Amino acid sequence: MMATPVKVLLCTADDGIMVDTIDAVLRANGFAPNLAVVADKDDIETIGREIADADIVYPNKASLSRKMIQRASRLRLIHCGTGCDTVDLEAAEEQGVFVCNTAHIMAQSVAEHAIFLLLALAKNGDHYLRGMNNESWSRRIGTELAGKVFGILGFGHIGKITARIAHSLGMKVMASRKDLGQGNKGQDFVTLVDLHTLLAEADIVSLHLPLIRDGPDKTEALMGEEELRKIGEKGLGWLINTSRGAIIDESELVEALKKGIIRKAGLDVFATEPLPPGHSLRSLPNVILTPHVAGETEEALKQRYSRIANNAVRVLREKRPEYIVDQLQSPSMEKN
């Protein structure tokens, strides 16, 4: 029996795990995969050309516009990582294309990275790394985290895991979520509060929200001048972001860091990625930066690529995929 050909467009450089994992799963299920890899997410011309005859697309951080989706006549599935904010979801739904994500798979890795940034801020990790590499012996006073108030904005899977780790460090944990009536989901050590209380009372605020650009649940630029000022009024005045850069008004954050309103920040995500050379955040002494790698662990990536490939198999066999994003749970997407 001949294997069924399938084209998969992968809009990111291979990390040594992606191609092998997706290829192996598809071949084991009777398909002959043609994996087209476009390493540069900003290479719109190549992505636009390759998507035209693709069956499956993994955009990663690349943008998929309405025009791209409409010209992709064979497209059956767009499978994102955690967020789908770079995909025109309305156009996908109109074309009958499923959009799925790998929700929860990266949760442990992202939560651990948020705590890594927290510890690096508390123990002056960046200062010692630079100093010791330059043969310096410059010492600073650190911060003990036990007893400090750790505020989590967004109490989903990542937020819950982050809360558990922070609690294990002896921190007092509070969280804010859209529906406070859902409770703390059995984490009795977490105090649920509204947004304004969290910003005013927490020593450290850690962001774990999806990026929503419009509508009543909009999170874009949620952290503006007023919110940043509230964080800085009491306690340590630290901010951690491992969610999406555009949730913070970046220009306001730069000013708050320069003025000492926000005393320290640990950032894994930025409004523009890669973070441009010469960006103000790169030169500030009270910021620790990482290049959007919170979910990039071997364990999480293997699970991510396996889910993408297995969902591709379901769609190619005319079955409904798993983990369809919330915005696409409409009757028009109900298939098998």
Q: pLDDT tens digits for the chain (336 residues)?
A: 689 999 999 999 999 999 999 999 999 999 999 999 999 999 999 999 999 999 999 999 999 999 999 999 999 999 998 889 899 999 999 999 999 999 789 999 999 999 999 999 999 999 898 888 989 999 999 999 999 999 999 999 999 999 999 999 999 999 998 877 676 767 899 999 999 999 999 999 999 999 998 899 999 999 999 999 999 998 999 999 999 999 999 999 999 999 999 999 999 999 999 999 999 999 999 999 999 999 999 999 999 999 999 999 999 999 999 999 975 443 333 333
CATH topology of domain 107-289: Rossmann fold (3.40.50)
Catalytic (active-site) positions: 244, 273, 292
User: CB–CB of 205/240 below 8 Å?
Assistant: yes
**Residue 288: which H helix or E strand, with range?**
strand 287-289
Give the separation between CA 83 and CA 209, rounded to whole angstroms.
10
Please tell me the predicted confidence (pLDDT) of residue 131: 85
Please tell me the predicted confidence (pLDDT) of residue 327: 56
Give the separation between CA 42 and CA 48, rounded to whole angstroms.
11
- For residue 170 the two structure tokens come to 């002896």
- For residue 24 the two structure tokens come to 């192996």
Please tell me the predicted confidence (pLDDT) of residue 331: 31
**Length of the chain counted residue by residue:** 336
User: CB–CB of 76/51 below 8 Å?
Assistant: no
- Burial code (b: 16+ CB inside 10 Å, e: under 16) for 101-119 equals bbbebbbbbbbbbbbbbbe
Contacts of 258 (CB under 8 A, 6+ apart): 284
4-104+297-333 classified as CATH 3.40.50.720: yes
Say which amino acid occupies 103.
A
Please tell me the predicted confidence (pLDDT) of residue 178: 82
Give the separation between CA 141 and CA 233, rounded to whole angstroms.
22
Segments of the chain assigned to CATH 3.40.50.720:
4-104+297-333, 107-289
Please tell me the predicted confidence (pLDDT) of residue 13: 97
User: CB–CB of 250/271 below 8 Å?
Assistant: yes
The 3-state DSSP class for residue 202 equals coil
Count of helix runs (H) and strand runs (E) in the chain: 12, 12
pTM of the predicted structure, to 2 decimals: 0.89
Give the separation between CA 10 and CA 154, rounded to whole angstroms.
30
